[in-house]
Amino acid sequence: MARQKPDHLDGYAQGKSTSQEQSIMSKLKSLVKTDAKVYFIMWKYAPQLLPNPNLKTFDDLKSNYKTFTDGMTESTCSNWLMEENVQTAVKWLLKREHQAKLIELYNTYYIRAKEDTNAFKAFTDFSDKFFAEEKGSELLGILNGIKDDDLE
């Protein structure tokens, strides 16, 4: 008799990768479509996320990644920043970096709030604003789930 599969698969920790989120590089690639643009955006706005974060100049970037052709210069690649899809990708990346900085700030306030009443006040004010967007989204999610017939 064959072993039965569990009926409570939750989608986590199955297969080789447990990440449920698209990687930053693959998300950027889905937006801009070329590796060169992905590497250029990451080098310009989030170099710490590159596999080699020590690339200081465009020439370093170009020599490290073969996706850049001989005709590509920093100036020509900078022109990509005028493309709508590249601007969307940059904005998405900067938003992700901003969220990470807010989380760091939240943790800093939390640590300081343990010993200082002024820091505690700042922590509670920051927490209200930091989580306000999430609360609004949860409320919208609930409201969007209500059918018009249910409101009558």
pLDDT one digit per residue (tens) for the chain, 152 residues: 555 555 544 444 445 555 555 799 999 999 999 999 999 999 999 999 998 989 999 999 999 999 999 999 999 999 999 999 999 999 999 999 999 999 999 999 899 989 989 889 888 988 888 887 655 555 556 656 666 565 55
Q: Does any domain span residue 68?
A: yes
149, two tokens = 């017939």
Q: Does any domain span residue 49?
A: yes
Q: How many domains does the chain have?
A: 1
Q: Does any domain span residue 3?
A: no
Rounded Cα distance between 29 and 34, Å, is 6
Q: Does any domain span residue 18?
A: no
Q: Does any domain span residue 130?
A: yes
Rounded Cα distance between 140 and 84, Å, is 29
Q: Does any domain span residue 131?
A: yes
Residue pair 44/60 in contact by the 8 Å Cβ criterion:
no
Q: Does any domain span residue 1?
A: no
Q: Does any domain span residue 117?
A: yes
Q: Which domain holds residue 128?
A: 31-144
